[in-house]
C-alpha cells in the first residue's frame, strides 16, 4: 500500500483513543523509533515528550530489552498460567517483592492497568465477603482521580472530569471526596483530612479507599502532600478500611521515588502497577497484596480468588519486565530523575508569567503547564509537530513525561517548544 491508502484505511476504519470516526483528531504515521525519537513516515523526527503515555522509560529500541525479548520468544512466548508456571513469572515476582512497599508479598499478574484496578477492587470486595461483611462493596475515591476505562475502574474515576460521565447511570455508586488541597511538600491539618474521616466513619459499606499516591495523573496532573497520604493511611487503619494505591503511572521512579508511596513512608494493602513495568515494550500489569488479604480470601467462600486472564503472566512480557527492572536499578535512576526535574523546572519557568496559564508544577520527571482554558487539540498538536516534538496535551493540561534516558539538549528542545506554543496560545 502507498501512504495515501494506509492513511485512508486508518481514517475510515480505525478508532484511536478518545476519538471520533467522522471528525478524527490528526494522527501522524510512525515508521520507526529509536532512543527518544519517533521517525514519521515522511522522514520527520520528533522528540518524544510523552514516553508513549508514560511507559517507555528506557527509550525505544534499547538493546537490553530487545535481547531479553528475543531470548524469550525463542524459548516460550506464551503458555496458559492455569495449572502451569514458568521461570519468567517466578523471577519477576522475586524482583517485585524486593522493591515494592513493605508487606506486599502476593502477586497477581494481568494484562493492563485498568485490569489491575479491577483486580484490586475485586480483591477488596472478596476480602470483606470472606470476613463475613458482604455489605462492604463500595469505595471511597478522590475527585480528580483517574484509574482506567473498564467499568469498575470507571466507577472510581472522577465522575465529572474523569471522562466517563456518559456511563454515570449504570456504574456502581461510589463515595467521592475532594482531592487533597495541600500541595506536594506542604503539611496537612486536621481540617484537610475531615472529608475523608467523615466518609470512612459514616459509610459502613466501604471496602477500601483507592487513590493515586501523591500524583493524580490523567484526572488532572495534581501533585498533593505526602503528609495527606500518610494521614490517610492512618485513618484507613483506624476505620478498618483497606487502602488501594494505584501506582500505574507513578511506579518505577517517575516521581523521584521508586514508588510514590515512599514519599509518605507508607505501604498500601493493595498495590496496582503497570505502564513502565515492561519499559513500555509489552502490555503487562500486576496487583500486589498482603498475606492478610490473601489468607482471608483463601479461608472464605469459594476459597479461591475469582479472576484469571487468558494472558496472565505472559512469559514474553515477564521476561521483558525483568530486564527493564534490572536496567532501571542498574543505573543511577535517581540522578536521572533529579536531572530531568531540574531541566523541567528551568525550562518551564517562563510559562508562569503568561496570562493564560493557571499554574506550572514539576515533580520528578513530570512537568505540567495548566492553562485557564482547554487547548485546541488540532492546532496545538500540529504546532508541536512543526517544532519537532511529540507532546499530547489534554483538557487544560500541557505536560511532559519524557523517557528517563532523555539528554539535556532534547529536554531543552521540549520545554522550549512548550514555552513557544503556550505563548502563541495565550496571545
> Could you tell me what percent of the chain has a pLDDT over 90?
93
The confidence score (pLDDT) of residue 425 equals 86
Q: What is the pLDDT of residues 109-142, one digit of tens each?
A: 999 999 999 999 999 999 999 999 999 999 999 9
State the pLDDT at residue 209: 98
Q: 359-377, pLDDT tens digit by residue?
A: 999 999 999 999 999 999 9
- CA 159, 162, 165, 171 torsion: positive or negative? negative
Q: Where are the domains of the chain?
A: 3-61+333-426, 76-329
pLDDT score for 320: 98
Q: Which of 10, 18, 66, 298 is catalytic?
A: 18
Query: 76-329, what's its fold?
Result: 3.40.640
The pLDDT confidence band at residue 206, using thresholds 50, 70 and 90, is: very high
Residue 23's pLDDT band, with cuts at 50, 70 and 90, is confident
Give the residue with greater pLDDT, 169 vs 210: 210
Instruction: Determine the straight-line distance between the first and last CA of the chain, rounded to whole angstroms.
Output: 42
Reported as a pLDDT band with limits 50, 70 and 90, residue 1 is confident
Model pLDDT, residue 18: 87
CB neighbour burial string for 189-217, b if at least 16 within 10 angstroms, e if fewer: eeebbebbbebbeebeebbbbbbbbbbbb
The mean pLDDT value of the chain amounts to 96
d(CA 389, CA 394): 16
Portion of the chain with pLDDT greater than 70, in percent: 99
Catalytic (active site) residue 246? yes
Query: How many residues does the structure list for the chain?
Result: 427
pLDDT at 283 over 80: yes
Which of 60, 146, 281, 399 does the annotation list as catalytic? 146
Q: Which three cell numbers stand for residue 279?
A: 519499559
pLDDT in tens, 60-93: 999 999 999 999 999 999 999 999 999 999 999 9
> Average pLDDT, stretch 319-327?
98
Give 388's contacts (C-beta < 8 A, 6+ positions apart): 44, 45, 46, 47, 413, 417
Euclidean distance between CA atoms 280 and 276, whole angstroms: 5
What local confidence, expressed as pLDDT, does residue 314 receive? 98
Residue 127 catalytic?
A: no
d(CA 322, CA 282): 12
Q: Return the minimum-mean-pLDDT range out of 6-15, 127-136, 214-223, 409-418.
A: 6-15
CB-count burial class (<10 Å; 0-12, 13-18, 19+) for 244 = buried
Among the options 192, 227, 246, 269, which is catalytic?
246
Taking residues 231-258, what's their average pLDDT? 98
Among 60, 158, 275, 281, which one carries the catalytic annotation? 275
* Predicted local confidence at residue 375, as pLDDT: 95
For β-strands 270-273 and 106-110, DSSP reports them as: unpaired
CA–CA gap between residue 222 and residue 161 (Å, rounded): 13
Q: Output DSSP code: residue 372.
A: S
* Nearest one of 368, 356, 425, 379 to 401, comparing CA atoms: 368
pLDDT at 78: 98
Residue 38: its pLDDT value, please? 98
Q: What is the mean pLDDT of residues 8-13?
A: 92
Quick one: average pLDDT of 336-355? Answer: 97
Report, as an integer, the average pLDDT of 245-265. Answer: 98
Instruction: Scan for cell 514519521, then name that residue.
Output: 40
- CATH class, 3-61+333-426 region: alpha beta
Residue 189's pLDDT band, with cuts at 50, 70 and 90, is very high
pLDDT on residue 162:
62
pLDDT interval class at 160 (50, 70, 90):
confident
Asked whether the predicted pLDDT for residue 24 surpasses 90, the reply is: no
Residue 44: is its pLDDT beyond 80?
Answer: yes
Amino acid at each position: 500500500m502507498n501512504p495515501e491508502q494506509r492513511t485512508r484505511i486508518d481514517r475510515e476504519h480505525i478508532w484511536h483513543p478518545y476519538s471520533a470516526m467522522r471528525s478524527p483528531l490528526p494522527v501522524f504515521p510512525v515508521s520507526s523509533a529509536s532512543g527518544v525519537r519517533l521517525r514519521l513516515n515522511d522522514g520527520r523526527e520528533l522528540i518524544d515528550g510523552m514516553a508513549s503515555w508514560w511507559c517507555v522509560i528506557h527509550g525505544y529500541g534499547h538493546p537490553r530489552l530487545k535481547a531479553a525479548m528475543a531470548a524469550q520468544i525463542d524459548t516460550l512466548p506464551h503458555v496458559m498460567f492455569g495449572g502451569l508456571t514458568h521461570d519468567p513469572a517466578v523471577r519477576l515476582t522475586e524482583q517485585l517483592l524486593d522493591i515494592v512497599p513493605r508487606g506486599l508479598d502476593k502477586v497477581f499478574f494481568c494484562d493492563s492497568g485498568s485490569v489491575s484496578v479491577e483486580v484490586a477492587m475485586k480483591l477488596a470486595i472478596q476480602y470483606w465477603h470472606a470476613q463475613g461483611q458482604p455489605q462492604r462493596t463500595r469505595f471511597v475515591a478522590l475527585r480528580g482521580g483517574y484509574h482506567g476505562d473498564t467499568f469498575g475502574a470507571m466507577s472510581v474515576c472522577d465522575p465529572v472530569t474523569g471522562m466517563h460521565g456518559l456511563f454515570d447511570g449504570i456504574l456502581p455508586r461510589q463515595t467521592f471526596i475532594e482531592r487533597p488541597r495541600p500541595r506536594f511538600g506542604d503539611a496537612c491539618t486536621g481540617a484537610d483530612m475531615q472529608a475523608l474521616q467523615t466518609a470512612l466513619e459514616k459509610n459502613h459499606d466501604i471496602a477500601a479507599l483507592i487513590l493515586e499516591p501523591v500524583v493524580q495523573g490523567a484526572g488532572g496532573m495534581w501533585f498533593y502532600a505526602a503528609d495527606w497520604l500518610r494521614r490517610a493511611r492512618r485513618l484507613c487503619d483506624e476505620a478498618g478500611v483497606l487502602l488501594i494505591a494505584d501506582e500505574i503511572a507513578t511506579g518505577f521512579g517517575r516521581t523521584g521515588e521508586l514508588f510514590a508511596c515512599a514519599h509518605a513512608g507508607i505501604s498500601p494493602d493493595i498495590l496496582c502497577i503497570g505502564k513502565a513495568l515492561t519499559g513500555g515494550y509489552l502490555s503487562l500489569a500486576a496487583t500486589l497484596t498482603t498475606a492478610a488479604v490473601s489468607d482471608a480470601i483463601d479461608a472464605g467462600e469459594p476459597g479461591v480468588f475469582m479472576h484469571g486472564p487468558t494472558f496472565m503472566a505472559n512469559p514474553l512480557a515477564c521476561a521483558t519486565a525483568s530486564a527493564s527492572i534490572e536496567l532501571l536499578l542498574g543505573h543511577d535512576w535517581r540522578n536521572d530523575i533529579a536531572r530531568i526535574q531540574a531541566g523541567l523546572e528551568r525550562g518551564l519557568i517562563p510559562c508562569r508569567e503568561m496570562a493564560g496559564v493557571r499554574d506550572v508544577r514539576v515533580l520528578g520527571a513530570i512537568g505540567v503547564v495548566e492553562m485557564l482554558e482547554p487547548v485546541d487539540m488540532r492546532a496545538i498538536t500540529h504546532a508541536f509537530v512543526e517544532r519537532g516534538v511529540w507532546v499530547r496535551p489534554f483538557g487544560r493540561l500541557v505536560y511532559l513525561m519524557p523517557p528517563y534516558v532523555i539528554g539535556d539538549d532534547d529536554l531543552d528542545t521540549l520545554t522550549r517548544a512548550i514555552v513557544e506554543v503556550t505563548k502563541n496560545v495565550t496571545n
